[in-house]
Amino acid sequence: MMNFLTTLFTASLAASTAAAADFNGQWRVSFDGHPGGPLPFTLEVKPGKVGPQAWIINPPERLKVEQFSVADDGLTLVFPSYNSRLELKAAPDGSLAGSATVLRATGTVTLPARAVRGGWRFTPGAVKPAGNVTGRWNLAYGDNRVKGLFILKQTGSQVSGTVQLPSGDMRYLSGELNGASLKLSTFDGSFTSLWTGTLAGDTLKGAQFAATSRPAGNPWEAKKEKQASVEAVAVEKPGGDRLAFRLPTPDGQMISLADARYKGKVVVISIGGAWCPNCHDEAQFLGPYAARRQKEGLEMIGLQFEYGSDEARAMRQISSFKGRYKLIYPMVYGGQPNADDTKKVLGALAPVKVWPTTIFIGRDGRVKEVHVGWAGPATGALNAKVKKEFDETVSRLLRERA
């Protein structure tokens, strides 16, 4: 009997491994119903020591999927820190079909998805570009022509880069220049962005689309300029305000700036939300930074404003966000990301218009600076600059006496 059970278990394990292996390799996943047209990205599946693993690829970024599982009939990708998921089921023709659910201010959005084997993005074969878009472009974005920066790199017909706006960057965009037609896309487990445009000399013009965009999208126009630049983070100097919130953490603690742990310390408050892609990028920097400088007298608090009125769901998401980035500092729940809730918590420093926004409090308990916005790793030099400015501000405040 024991030999029979051992044989049965071995056969079952082999069948399971074979089923998982069927999905190994690169897949071109496309949200075909996305506003503005299909939004593609690359999904790579590989075997691992504890089971199959997966990465979402928006070159040059390889983003590991938080939770990934394989069944005989398909794949499931879960991002608890975003409260999003992507499920793909095997079709008879060897493709995969399913949908992604992502959380937005308006509620849950469902994006139909289809996947086929391969790593190509917009066009499966070779294409000929009409020019080279490598460089920096001054950008006018949206109906109000907000000033921004397009940073692009082209190799052959393949294009990668990002867009920096005063509200943050668009993370890693990847695509192609096919003739004069530019197409770029990104997906990071929740955030979607599709950029389409046309090249004419030293000008690019087109539209940008997100998961809830209107049919026409957001218009944009960019002009190539060698010295093109943008101020990624605005620095504000309030008049020494004091904050007096007392807010809960997911594990039931109540956090107040009047707590003994903050007395005589420099306190940095990162205002964000798990729904905010730039907040995820900022957290990757803040986690190690807070741990490194805590012994010098730095304390941090993550002040989260989450979509929807379901506080229990928000608390679960905050916990997932904290766990994903191994943050050592408390994360508190402030309400929803709207003017009323931010005003209740922050008083005269509200409303919060840009996510993330960072508040720097000196050893005397007064607000010294507010940094509005962030530039993520996709921006290269801009990311290095904002991290340097963050560090300089903290270092200056640590040198001051209470």
Q: What pLDDT, on a 0 to 100 scale, did the predictor assign at position 144?
A: 96
Cβ distance 186 to 204 under 8 Å?
no
Q: What percent of the chain has pLDDT over 70?
A: 95
Q: What pLDDT, on a 0 to 100 scale, did the predictor assign at position 11?
A: 41
pLDDT at 5 over 80: no
Residues 312-328: pLDDT tens digits? 999 999 999 999 999 99
Closest of 127, 394, 397, 173 to residue 286, by C-alpha? 394
Residues 344-382: pLDDT tens digits? 999 999 999 999 999 999 999 999 999 999 999 999 999
DSSP classification of residue 388: H
Amino acid in position 364? D
Copy the structure tokens of residue 64.
């590991």
Same fold, 2-117 and 234-399: no
Q: How far is CA 375 from CA 9, 98, 130, 358, 399, in A?
A: 51, 33, 30, 13, 26
Rounded Cα distance, 402 and 397, in Å: 10
Q: What pLDDT, on a 0 to 100 scale, did the predictor assign at position 72?
A: 87
Rounded Cα distance, 313 and 229, in Å: 40
Q: Where are the domains positioned within the chain?
A: 2-117, 135-224, 234-399
Q: What pLDDT, on a 0 to 100 scale, did the predictor assign at position 19?
A: 42
Cβ distance 148 to 168 under 8 Å?
no
Confidence of residue 16 (pLDDT cuts 50, 70, 90): very low
Domain 234-399 has CATH 3.40.30.10: yes
Q: What pLDDT, on a 0 to 100 scale, did the predictor assign at position 239?
A: 76
Domain 135-224 CATH (choose: 3.30.310.10, 2.30.30.30, 2.40.128.120, 2.170.150.20)? 2.40.128.120
Rounded Cα distance, 293 and 113, in Å: 44
Copy the structure tokens of residue 131.
């020019």
pTM (predicted TM-score): 0.91
Copy the structure tokens of residue 328.
């050592």
Rounded Cα distance, 254 and 197, in Å: 49
Dihedral sign for Cα 326, 329, 334, 337, please. Answer: negative
Q: What pLDDT, on a 0 to 100 scale, did the predictor assign at position 366?
A: 95
pLDDT at 110 over 60: yes
Beta bridge partners of 64: 55
DSSP classification of residue 312: H
Rounded Cα distance, 270 and 290, in Å: 11
Residues 176-222: pLDDT tens digits? 999 999 999 999 999 999 999 999 999 999 999 999 999 999 999 99
- What CATH architecture is 2-117? Beta Barrel (2.40)
Mean per-residue pLDDT, 142-170? 97
The secondary element (H helix, E strand) that includes residue 289 is helix 277-293
Residues 58-85: pLDDT tens digits? 999 999 999 999 998 999 999 999 999 9
Residues 299-309: pLDDT tens digits? 999 999 999 99
Rounded Cα distance, 334 and 313, in Å: 14
